Amino acid sequence: MQHLLSLFDISESDLKQILATASHLKSGLARGERPPVLERRVLALLFEKPSLRTRVSFETGIAQLGGSSLFLGEDVGWGTRESPADFTQVLGQFVDAVVCRTKQHERATQLASFNAMPVINGLTDLCHPCQALADVLTIREAFGTEVGKHVVFVGDGNNVSGSLALISAMLGMKFTLACPEGYQLDSSWLEQVIQRYPEASIEQTSDVTTAVKTADAIYTDVWTSMGQEEETAIRKKAFADYQVNSELMAEAPEHARILHCLPAVRGEEITDEVIDSDQSDVIAQAGNRMHAQKGLLVWLLNRKWVDENIQVIT
């Protein structure tokens, strides 16, 4: 059974098909088209952490495709009320797929292990694959192609930057993480990326000023992710020189676009002036969450339609 626990679960050609499906559905929607290609399909959202974008974009996305969704919060008792096997196999009797947002990545892996329904990672501590799909759509729209573009992530080696590093490797983007010592990408994640994509251009540096000089896109995220709240003070100190502000933007090429997965802590990792500037694509990027995930859902649940209707131009 096909899951999307991370982008390691799919090939580059799968990824290109998902992105092409997303773009096709997005341009159709702009013409008022809402093809019911997932009619009567039901998507569950099983979330252990808060969410605006991921939750709403999946719920609206499946609705536009003729399906429906169920939001399942803590009251369903996942991991507390019955065994994981009973919980998951029962859920699989009712729904066509589940999006989960979990504190530990292993919880998502366990959910998928029963093969009761396709499991989509809607963010874990390890990675955020759906965010990366929308990020690439946004970069593609800004430049016409993502290939060869240099994405500089200023901030933490976290779930968002890890997925961005992987998708960059899959699609031929150059990726640099500019971060303080001790906040690099998870080393075993990076090893897996390099093992699978030995040609990948991935760098990590503490020299943020030099890193942004060749950036096509400058991306940032919160310094303290959900679940790390007790480290807030330490992280504020560690990342103090890694704010995306006008001074840093003055070092970057004029064409560089600004990205942020949101939610942002304005005044910490990014200033109002930069996030609200003409160079910023963050609102369009958030909007692309829905388009990207519609592509993913159709690819997962109606591959026949994708094969018959979507042409991947490489």
Q: Which residues are CB-neighbours of 91 under 8 A, at least 6 positions away? A: 44, 46, 98, 116, 117
52 binds, among ligand NVA, ligand CP, none (CB under 5 to 8 A by kind): ligand CP
Q: Which of 280, 159, 152, 287 is CA-nearest to residue 215?
A: 152
Q: With binding defined as CB under 6 A, does residue 222 bind ligand NVA?
A: yes
- Is 127 near ligand CP (CB under 6 A)? no
| 88 part of the interface to ligand NVA, by CB under 6 A | no
Site for ligand CP in 106-125 (CB under 6 A): 123
Q: What gap in Å lies between CA 227 and CA 53, rounded to an integer?
A: 18
| Tokens found for residue 152 | 């500089």
Scanning 51-59, 102-110, 244-252, 269-277 for contacts with ligand CP by CB under 6 A, the matching segment is 51-59
Does position 293 bind ligand CP by CB under 6 A?
Answer: no
Phi/psi at 139 (5° precision): -65, -40
| Residue that the structure tokens 């992987």 belong to | 166
Residue positions annotated with a catalytic role: 101, 128, 131, 221, 261, 289
When binding is defined by CB under 6 A, the residue of 261, 290, 297, 300 that contacts ligand CP is 261
Instruction: Specify the residue, 25 or 261, whose C-beta has the smaller distance to ligand CP.
Output: 261
Q: Does 259 bind ligand NVA (CB under 6 A)?
A: no
- Give 15 or 123: the residue with its C-beta nearer to ligand CP: 123
Contacts to ligand NVA from residues 189-218, by CB under 6 A:
none
- Cα angle vertex 193, ends 188, 148, to 5°? 145
Rule CB under 6 A: is residue 261 a binding residue for ligand NVA? yes
Q: Which of residues 103-142 bind ligand NVA (CB under 6 A)?
A: 123
Residue positions counted in the chain? 314
Integer Cα distance of 45 and 198 in angstroms? 35
Q: Which of 159, 285, 288, 293 binds ligand NVA (CB under 6 A)?
A: 159
**Do the beta carbons of residue 22 and residue 133 sit within 8 Å?**
yes
Which residues lie closer than 8 Å to 188 by C-beta, 6 or more apart?
none
* Chain residues in the site for ligand NVA (CB under 6 A): 123, 158-160, 221-222, 225-226, 261
